[in-house]
Amino acid sequence: MKDIPKSAVWRKSSKSNGQGACVEVAFLDDGRVALRESDEPDSVVVTSAVKWDAFLAGVRENEFDRP
């Protein structure tokens, strides 16, 4: 995984269905936020904390609910 330290602590939602296909997040020491799917751990998206916070605000306001 490019630029992701092996010490990264991956977390997944307690709402996860327990079938192993979950989105996980790791907050990196340099302030970036990494995302991956637990069944594809080598495919990682990294973003800034500012973008992560904006995404979460949209989630909380139901901007990303499925139609």
Residue 43, in any domain of the structure:
yes
pLDDT in tens, the chain (67 residues): 568 888 899 998 877 776 767 889 999 999 999 999 988 888 999 999 999 999 999 999 999 999 8
Partner residues linked to 33 by β-bridges:
27, 47
What is the C-alpha separation between 16 and 44, in angstroms, rounded?
A: 19
Residue 65, in any domain of the structure:
no
| Domain limits for position 42 | 21-60
Lookup: tokens for 48: 């800034």
Residue 51, in any domain of the structure:
yes
Residue 31, in any domain of the structure:
yes
Closest Cα to residue 39, out of 23, 27, 17? 23
The pTM score is 0.82
How many domains does the chain divide into?
A: 1
Residue 41, in any domain of the structure:
yes
Residue 40, in any domain of the structure:
yes
Angle at 26 between CA 50 and CA 42, to 5 degrees: 115
